Chains A and B, each alone.
Chain A
Amino acid sequence: MPTSEELNGLARAVAVQSDRQAFAVLFKHFAPRIKSYLILGGTGDALAEEITQETMVNVWRKAHTFDPERASVSTWIFTIARNLRVDYFRRQDARLVYGAEEEAEAQADTLPALDEQVLAQERESRVRMAMARLPDEQALVLRLSFFEERPHARIAAELGIPLGTVKSRVRLAVNQLRRLLSGIES
């Protein structure tokens, strides 16, 4: 499995040199996981395949907006897949969610040097550690929140709690994640 630094290097090669081999490596790593994400959310196989390919087309086209200081490659690709999924299901206008895209377009020529990428990688490894330390129930709440088509109904069913109290369980889980994060030395 490629490391976070390697993935950054690949995304950079795609952005700067339109490197097709680097893109193929990103594809091999991410496309099967994107499809898995879509299928977990209730998307049928054919549509999941289509959205996966479209996500990777966007990865190619938007590579110059990827900001390794802001987010890791996996986080960036997650937001692209999520936005396309939302667009397909018309839940919201998602082009706004990543937000920094317009600003990123404007400064496309100033990709930060590799040693400036520490911040996002730091965040990623701390989030990963914090998630590993979450109590089972809260880890479950978080996972269902991301991967279920109707997360609140599913959380209520899994935990055997009324729908009305799901919100507070979700808040509790995020709060716990944040507490763990602040406890992890950077």
Chain B
Amino acid sequence: MTHHHPADDLLLGLAAGTLTSGVAVLTASHVETCAHCRDRLLVLETAGGTLLENLTPESLSSDALARTMAAIDAPQRPLAAKKTEGRLPQAPEGMQWPRALSDCVATPWRWIGPGMRWSRVTLPSDPAAKLFLLRIAAGRKLAMHTHAGMELTQVLYGRFHDGRDHFAAGDFDETDDSVHHQPEALASGECICLAYVGGKVVFKGMLARTLGAIMGM
């Protein structure tokens, strides 16, 4: 049961196609596994369809239909099958990567501290987007940190709490510079999250700052 969902402005941006790549991937990865948000998204897409219906028609070139028909009759390029296998790090048994990551390439898991690994995810459409995976071992916590901008998290596996609330697989979280938090995986098992940060991550303390530098965020 999912308890934490993206806010309406994110879903509306997804419906309208106006989100930046990283934000869209996070929001889409939540919607994939959340029937409630699929319904919310569908209402907003229906609003988009209704607005489209009501637009004043633009005139098209006179041969537009003929050219479209010609394109339909042209032989189609076969679609390459998409595989995430090998392009994303190893996942625990039973966990599936979101389809939203199917175009992405990510590094293998890299050690960033006791019980903590991360993987930098690169989006072909926006390689600079700060998108990454975090893998926190059972009972371990991240360094206390805040963000210069927006931070979005989608829990893919396990659960964590951060002093504010509990987040389990399927949950979505949005924080900003008003939140200082220290996510901690529950003792019962490891936790894997997909995260996006809009600005720099600001860690507290020198060791934590070093970690921040390693992660380049």
The residues of A with any CB-CB pair to B shorter than 8 Å are 20, 24, 27-28, 30-37, 39-40, 48-49, 52-54, 56-57, 60-61, 70-72, 74-79, 81-83, 85-86, 90-94, 96-97, 99, 102, 123-124, 127-128, 131, 142-143, 145-151, 167, 170-171, 174-175, 177-178, 181
Whole-angstrom CA separation of A142 from B24 in the bound complex: 18
10 further A-B pairs in the complex, CB-CB below 8 A; given A82-B16, A82-B17, A94-B24 = A20-B69, A28-B65, A40-B55, A48-B58, A54-B71, A78-B45, A83-B17, A145-B18, A146-B48, A170-B8
Among B7, B14, B126, contact of A171 (Cβ-Cβ < 8 Å): B7
- Whether B125 and A145, one on each chain, are in contact in the complex, defined by CB atoms closer than 8 angstroms, is no
B56 to A, closest residue via Cβ:
A36
Assembled-state Cα–Cα distance A34/B64 (Å): 13
Which residues from 149 to 192 on chain B have a C-beta closer than 8 Å to any C-beta of chain A?
none
Neighbour of B55 across the interface among A37, A72, A170, A178, CB < 8 A: A37
Q: Which A-chain residue is minimally distant from B98 (CB atoms)? A: A96
Q: Can you give 16 A-B contacts (C-beta < 8 A)?
A: A27-B64, A37-B52, A49-B61, A52-B60, A57-B68, A75-B46, A78-B49, A86-B17, A93-B21, A96-B32, A96-B100, A102-B99, A150-B18, A151-B18, A170-B12, A181-B43
Please determine whether B76 and A93 come into contact, CB atoms closer than 8 angstroms. no
Give the secondary structure class of B's interface.
helix
A146 touches B42 (CB 8 A): no
**Chain B interface size, under 10 / 10 to 19 / 20 to 34 / 35 or more:** 35 or more
The proximity string for B residues 48-89 relative to A, scoring 1 for CB distances below 8 Å and 0 otherwise, is 111111011111110011011101100010000000000000
Q: Is A31 within 8 A of B49, CB to CB? A: no
Measured in the bound complex, the distance between the Cα atoms of B68 and A40 in whole Å is 22
B57 A53 Cβ-Cβ under 8 A: no
Interface of chain A, helix or strand or loop or mixed? helix
Tell me which residues across on chain A come within 8 A of B19, comparing CB atoms. 91-92
In the complex, the chain B residue whose C-beta lies closest to that of A18 is B72
How many pairs, one residue from A and one from B, have CB atoms within 8 Å of each other in the complex? 184
Known contacts A36-B55, A70-B42, A74-B49; A92/B60 CB under 8 A: no
Q: How far is the CB of B35 from chain A (nearest CB, A)?
A: 11
Instruction: State whether A71 and B25 are in contact (beta carbons under 8 Å apart), knowing that A77-B52, A92-B125, A145-B18 are contacts in the complex.
Output: no
Residues in B whose Cβ lies below 8 Å from that of A96: 28, 32, 99-100, 102
Decide yes or no: A92 and B24 within 8 Å by CB, A78-B52, A146-B16 being known contacts.
yes
- For B215, list chain A residues within 8 Å (CB): none
Chain A, residue nearest B47 (CB) = A127
Residue with the greatest number of chain A CB neighbours at <10 A, chosen from B43, B58, B61, B99: B58
The answer to whether B4 has its CB under 8 Å from any CB of chain A is no
CB neighbours (8 Å) of A35 from chain B are 57-58, 60
A99, B38: Cβ atoms closer than 8 Å: yes
A56: nearest residue on chain B (CB-CB)?
B68
- Is B194 close to A, CB under 8 A? no
Given that A57-B68, A92-B24 are known contacts, is A151 also in contact with B16, CB under 8 Å in the complex? yes
B71 partner residues in chain A, CB cutoff 8 A: 53-54, 57
CA distance A166 to B68 in the complex (A): 40
Q: A83 to chain B: which residues have CB within 8 Å?
A: 17
Nearest chain A residue, comparing its CB with the CB of B55: A36
